[in-house]
Amino acid sequence: MTTRYAADDAQERKLGESVLRALRDVPFGALPKSELDLALFRGLIDAQILDPGAPIFELARTLKITPTRVRSLLYRYRLVMQDGDENTTTEVIAALAKTRFELTSKSITFGIEDPYIRDSLAADLKARGVFADTSFNPETVRLSLDAFVGFVESTLSPEDRTRILRALTKDTKVDLNKFTSILKSMLAHFGKRLVGDIADEAAGIVVDGAAELVKAAGKFTIGLITGNAEDVGAAAARLD
């Protein structure tokens, strides 16, 4: 039987230290129940007994509380731990790198469970005049390819963008002004091929290499988000 909250001595000590820090700031017994819950939740994360990036249901099952309560605790934890826009952007990128993407020739759809990270991405996009479509499911975000590439471009360094363009164009000299148009075109190409494969499979037509194309599209998209030019180039070669 798996031990709940399995931890070694160092983790247990870290948990105790984290909770004590929260208790020291108030008279004994004066910490509200909601704040004590947050202190315990933060302690479990500080001790690396819980992973805040784990699926919501997995956390709910471990804590034996509802997914709604987990989302609330996560949101409050993120607010307390927020340490500047740069760190928030890093967390958004990390969340995107673990998700699955659905592509069409015009849009990209993906899911983010963590409500704070999802709201952070939405706020970033709104600042650019872009409003994500979450009408189907609040945890599912749909963006135009323009908006998605624009967001990714803003998070990558000029060096990363240069390496990605070199991997795609095979040129030693690249024009960074073409980053958006080239990446949008590549994503649209993937999307068009994927939509065609889905339509063929629905019609009962066997599509050779469809599974490999799905993997390549995922590798391409995640490589783009993380600035991995090698993965982007290798995945793009699947379209040839």
Question: Tens digit of pLDDT for each residue in 111-123?
Answer: 888 888 888 888 8
Tell me the pTM.
Answer: 0.72
Model confidence over 34-84: pLDDT tens digits? Answer: 999 999 999 999 999 999 888 899 999 999 999 999 999 999 998 888 766
69-106 core/surface letters (b: 16 or more CB in 10 A; e: else): ebbbbbbbbbeeeeeeeeebbebbbebbeebebbbbee
- Domain chopping of the chain, boundaries: 9-81, 88-239
pLDDT of amino acid 80: 86
Averaged confidence pLDDT in the chain:
84
More confident residue, 13 or 110: 13
Mean predicted confidence (pLDDT) in 174-200: 81
Could you tell me the CA-to-CA distances from 81 to 18, 52, 120, 174, 233 in Å, in that order?
13, 12, 14, 40, 36
At residue 40, the pLDDT reads 95
| pLDDT given for residue 14 in this prediction | 94
